[in-house]
Amino acid sequence: MKKFEWRYAVKSGVQGLRRHPLLAAAAITTLALMLFLMSAFVAISMNANHLSKVAGQQPPIEITMLVGAKNEEIVELSDFLRDHTVVQSWEKYTPQQNFEQFKHDMGKDELWKDFDYNLYIPYTFSVRLMDPSYGETFEDEVMELRSVKEVLMESSVMELLDNVKHWTSRVGVIVFIILAVISAIVMANTVRIAALSRSREINIMKYVGATNTFIRVPFIVEGVLIGMTGALVASVSASLIYSQIVTRMNPDALAQSASEFALLPVAPVAATLLGLNLVIGIVLCVVVSAISVRKYARV
């Protein structure tokens, strides 16, 4: 299409929305509601994923060796942790360090004056993983090493967040499909009425040699405008509400690093929601418009 044809298509598409403002408002409202609910599920899923990663690092995994483990066995575990790709950081604590910490916690050093810690207190290792989902596999790998007594992990929080992610994704998909169908029906009715109201104009254009593309594009432009508007309304609404939630639950979120146990900052979440909503909203409306105008405009 040439430049003047595109100008005509855009102008005609805008005029089409003005002819039926109530239908356009209904289509935008339905689409915005669908995208808003989808945004809520996406934001929850993003934060659940983020918090599950943090939960995998706080508190750390505690590895306890057998009492009296040999030096080469301690070195073997140290080398294993140093070379492991999933291990973010680790620290080794000697029996003496563990004993000193124990005395500090108890608060009565005189009771342990003649205590031989080498006979009762083992080496321990504190480990943080980059990927919490690797925890169980990591435990199995460590338990295969010599003189490892036990591996303690705080997995309840990670399991809860993994379940939240799982069910959020499921419910989000179901809600998205239902609202997408409703949005498509409303959008199809909008295009149908617009096409029927311009049927005489369409017939005249066909008689003078207008191509199918030239006739269809204005309706597709209407779909693009509805999709963009609905996406912007949903994104702004979701971002404002998310911002309020972050401010209430985490007042210093903007100053916190991504590794801290807090909700994600507003900016990356809002950017993700905007991009996702624009793509889904525009694509959905363009596809529905293209199919509907082909059927109802009889071109």
Per-position pLDDT tens, the chain of length 299: 566 666 766 777 677 677 778 777 888 888 888 889 888 888 887 887 777 666 655 557 889 999 989 999 999 999 999 999 989 889 999 999 988 888 877 766 666 777 788 888 999 999 988 776 788 888 899 999 999 999 987 665 556 656 666 776 677 678 778 877 877 777 777 667 766 666 676 677 677 776 777 777 887 888 888 889 999 999 999 999 999 998 887 655 444 444 455 788 899 999 999 998 999 888 888 888 777 777 655 54
pTM (global) more than 0.75 = no
Q: With beta carbons less than 8 A apart as the criterion, state whether 16 and 194 touch.
A: yes
Q: So what's the pLDDT on residue 256?
A: 45
Residue 105 tokens, joined: 């916690």
Residue 294 tokens, joined: 């082909």
Whether residue 59 is preceded by a cis peptide bond, meaning omega within 30 degrees of 0, is yes
φ and ψ of 154, to 5 deg = -90, 90
Domain limits, CATH 3.30.70.3040, in the chain:
61-153
Q: Which residues pair with 151 in a beta bridge?
A: 63
Q: So what's the pLDDT on residue 253?
A: 45
Q: So what's the pLDDT on residue 226?
A: 87
**CB-CB neighbours of 160 under 10 Å:** 14
CATH code that applies to domain 61-153: 3.30.70.3040
* SS3 at position 62: strand
